[in-house]
Amino acid sequence: MTDAQAEAITKYSDKFCLLSESPITPHELFSNSKEIIVEVGSGMGEATALIAEQFPETGFIAIEVHTPGIGALLIKIAEGELSNLRLLEDDATVALRDSFPNHSINAFHIFFPDPWSKVRQRKRRIIQGPFLDILANKLKPNGRIHIATDWQDYANYIKKVFLEHSAFEGGIVERPDWRPLTKFEGKGLRKNHNVTDFTYTLKS
C-alpha cells in the first residue's frame, strides 16, 4: 500500500466506506438515485470511478477485498467529489449473502474477475452456480449482471455456468460504450487477449 492510499483510508473511510458487519441498506444510502449498482472486485477502482462519474444519478457500491484498492479508489472519490459511490472492503460472496437485503440491487458489474487459469484452480472462480444464486436473490425484478473477461477459457466457463442456471437469460454482447478501457484491460489487449462482454438479465 502506498502512503497516499494509507492516508486516504485514514482520512476518508468514515465518510465513504461501509461496515461489512452491519446490514447494508442501499435504498437509504442512495434514496434519490434512479438505480443502485454493485461492483464485485473493483480492483484499483479505475473503471468504478469513471462509471460513477458518468452516471451521477445512479448509486454505486464497490466491493473489494484488497486494501490498497480501497485506498486507491478513496483517492479517486475524494478527487472527483463522487458522492454517489461507497466502498466495502470484504469478500463479496459473504457480504452480499449476509449484509444486503434481497431484491435491492438493479445491476452487478464484474469486470475482469480473477481467471484462475489452471484447471485445478477453476473452483476458485467467483462465477459459480452458488454465487449466481446469491446475485439472483439480491437483484430487483429485471435486474442484470454485466461481466467482462479477457480470458477465453473463463468466457467459455461463464457461458456454461449461466446456461446451467435457471434464473438468468442473456449472453455475449458488444462492448458497452459506458465501460471504460482500463490499464488492466489494456495490458490484456497488448497480450492479444480477446475481451468478451456478457449481459445476463433475471428472468421474470
Ligand X SMILES: C[S@@+](CC[C@H](N)C(=O)[O-])C[C@H]1O[C@@H](n2cnc3c(N)ncnc32)[C@H](O)[C@@H]1O
Give the binding site for ligand X (CB under 6 A): 40-43, 47, 63-66, 69, 91-93, 111-114, 126, 182, 184
Closest distance between ligand X and the C-beta of residue 198, in Å?
14
Closest distance between ligand X and the C-beta of residue 131, in Å?
9
Contact 134, 100 (CB under 8 A): no
Report the residue number, 20 or 201, with the smaller CB distance to ligand X: 20
Report the residue number, 94 or 172, with the smaller CB distance to ligand X: 94
Task: Write the DSSP assignment of 2-24 as a string of letters.
Answer: -HHHHHHHHHHHHHHBPPTTSPP
C-alpha distances out from residue 64 to 111, 140, 146, Å: 12, 22, 17
Which residues are CB-neighbours of 4 under 8 A, at least 6 positions away? 71, 75
Measured on CA atoms in the order 65, 67, 69, 71, is the torsion positive or negative? positive
Report the residue number, 34 or 183, with the smaller CB distance to ligand X: 183
Q: Which of 14, 114, 150, 153 is catalytic?
A: 114
Which residues are CB-neighbours of 42 under 8 A, at least 6 positions away? 48, 62, 63, 64, 69, 73, 87
Closest distance between ligand X and the C-beta of residue 194, in Å?
16
Query: Is 3 tagged catalytic?
Result: no
Report the residue number, 166 or 194, with the smaller CB distance to ligand X: 194
Closest distance between ligand X and the C-beta of residue 203, in Å?
25
By annotation, the residues acting in catalysis are 114
